[in-house]
Amino acid sequence: MTVVRTRVGIVGAGPAGLLLSHLLAAAGIESVVLDSRTREQIETTVRAGILESWLIELLRQTGASDRVDRDAQPHQGIELRFDGAGHRIDFRRLVGRDVWLYPQHEVLRDLIAARVAAGQDLRFGVVATGAQDDGERVTVHATGLDGEPLTVEAEFVVGADGSRSVVREAVAGSQQAGYFREYPFAWFGILCEAPPSAEELIYSNSPHGFALISQRSAAVQRMYLQCDPELDPQAMSDEAIWASLRERVAPHPLIEGPIVQRDVLRFRSFVASHLRRGRLALVGDAAHTVPPTGAKGLNLAAADVVILARALEALLLRGDGSEVDRYPEVALRRIWKAQQFSWWMTSMLHTVPGASEFDRLRQLGELYSVVESEAGMRFLAEAYTGWPLG
Ligand code: PHB
């Protein structure tokens, strides 16, 4: 059995785990990062795409990415479509902030490259099975690439290991301990090879179901259709996908092209019952899940990490544990605001199977009360572009 000793053991090399090791290293705190996936899997899985501006700034200022200067595209607003017409929410005018389109796997490539260049102990293909704080030692138990048991002994352990976190049990008491909401729909996501169909994102509420037109680059686009959670992504023909997208954003024209990837994203809202126990803490999807409609998941994960990194600096460099004590309270304020926003955007924009005519007309009333009110649009813009980190 191999035992590795470090200051902070981090389970999960997703955006949260990698950003945490990066921020800790900048403060002179060493960490070990484990992930069950390969580097290639991590760098190629298609995920979210919208970053709040403070996160772009953080990646730039801490030297994690110089590519954001070249490749991240500012988006000054979004369009809400409903009742056959588009309504622009102008973030720049309303709150003076943009969001940035920079795909999550590009963030991961940047962070992995920066960590590897700095000599970070980053172990891929290592399956963590659990974590423990027995009062004396904090440990992560794992199985290495060679099938040999591996133990990480640290002064603090962080679960950044996603929605199926193995660290959660040691923090929250069980895998399931927390607050949930399930939704009766999912998103069918595609990547297609075509020029952008719109300059900004279009979130469309239609009687046929929700659709989202997003972008990736000049040549590749990302689009989503509300679907049944049980839909087999291979069961729909390309023509049927395009026909569905067209009718949901009509009369806005779509530029079609070969569909090169398809996936189904399940919807769920979740907040773990505890974010910290002793010298163990959870960040990102291990701590909470939001439905993707508000583009909050990645940004919320990064916000947790910024708060926890500061708290760990106080603890590990100055012996001051008060910020770690306050981590759940500080992080949860933002987490529940993001939960509320993601739930609100989801419920306002999707068609609920079996909804009555009252429900449908009330939903249109809600959408008009947002887009015909400065205060309504500003509320949406504030949340979408991200609240200040404080
Ligand atoms: C995406 O581009 O993948 C995307 C954008 C906005 C969302 C969700 C996903 O709300």
321-358 pLDDT, tens digit each:
999 999 999 999 999 999 999 999 999 999 999 999 99
Q: Any catalytic annotation for residue 368?
A: no
Calculate how far, in angstroms, residue 369's C-alpha sits from the geometric centre of ligand 1.
24
- The answer to whether residue 88 sits within a structural domain is no
Q: What is the mean pLDDT of residues 95-109?
A: 97
Domain of 12, CATH number, reads: 3.50.50.60
Indicate the average pLDDT of the chain.
97
Active site annotation includes 75: yes
Question: Active site includes 292?
Answer: yes
Q: Which residues of 31-50 are buried (b: 16+ CB within 10 A; e: fewer)?
A: bbbbbbbebeebeeebbbbb
- 292 close to ligand 1 (CB < 6 Angstrom): yes
According to the model, what pLDDT value does residue 100 have? 98
Kindly state whether residues 192 and 259 are assigned to the same domain. yes
Whether 298 maps to a domain, the answer reads: yes
**What per-residue confidence (pLDDT) applies to 390?**
72
Q: Confirm or reject: Cβ of 49 under 6 Å from ligand 1.
A: yes
In a domain, 80, yes or no: no
Say if 220 falls within a structural domain: yes
| Residues 10-43 pLDDT 10s | 999 999 999 999 999 999 999 999 999 999 999 9
Q: Are residues 151 and 243 in the same domain?
A: no
Say yes or no to pLDDT of 263 above 80. yes
DSSP codes, 84-117 = TEEEEEEHHHHHS--EEE--HHHHHHHHHHHHHH
| Catalytic hit among 102, 183, 203, 327 | 203
Q: Give residue 33's domain range.
A: 2-73+99-180+269-345
What does the alpha-carbon distance between residue 13 and residue 286 come to, in Å, rounded to a whole number? 12
For the question of residue 384 being annotated catalytic, the response is yes
Q: Is 163 in contact with 270 (CB distance < 8 Å)?
A: yes
Q: Are residues 174 and 60 in the same domain?
A: yes
Q: Is 138 in the pocket of ligand 1 (CB under 6 A)?
A: no
Q: How far is the CA of 319 from the centre of ligand 1 (A)?
A: 40
Q: Within this chain, do residues 245 and 356 fall inside the same structural domain, yes or no? A: yes
Coil, strand or helix: which one is 360? Answer: helix
Residue 341's nearest CA partner among 290, 377, 390 is: 290
* DSSP β-bridge partners for residue 201: 78
CA angle 348, 389, 31 (to 5 degrees): 115
**What is the structure's pLDDT at 1?**
86
Q: Are residues 241 and 111 in the same domain?
A: no
pLDDT score of 136: 84
Q: At what angle do helices 322-349 and 297-318 cross, to 10 degrees?
A: 180
Q: Are residues 242 and 376 in the same domain?
A: yes
196 noted as active-site residue: no
* 46 plus 166 within the same structural domain: yes
The rounded Å distance from CA 42 to ligand 1 centre is 18
85 in a domain, yes or no?
Answer: no
The string of pLDDT tens digits covering residues 168-226 is 999 999 999 999 999 999 999 999 999 999 999 999 999 999 999 999 999 999 999 99
335 is written with which tokens?
Answer: 């987490």
The count of residues in the chain is 390
- The pLDDT, as a whole number, for residue 46 is 85
Q: Is the omega angle on the peptide bond into residue 103 within 30 degrees of 0, that is, cis?
A: no
User: Please, which residues bridge with residue 189 across strands?
Assistant: 224, 263
Judge contact between 186 and 267, C-beta under 8 A: yes
CA nearest neighbour of 138 among 6, 267, 243, 295: 6
Confidence of residue 145 (pLDDT cuts 50, 70, 90): confident
> How many Å apart are CA 335 and CA 294, to the nearest integer?
13
Ligand 1 atom nearest residue 293's Cα: 10
The CATH number linked to 259 is 3.30.9.10
Locate 165 and state its tokens: 């976190």
Residue 234 within any structural domain of the chain:
yes
Q: What is the structure's pLDDT at 23?
A: 98
pTM: 0.97
Domain count, the chain: 2
User: Which tens digits make up the pLDDT trace of 271-304?
Assistant: 999 999 999 999 999 999 999 999 999 999 999 9
Give nearest CA residue, ligand 1 atom 2: 49
pLDDT at position 155 is: 97
CA distance 214 to 265: 15
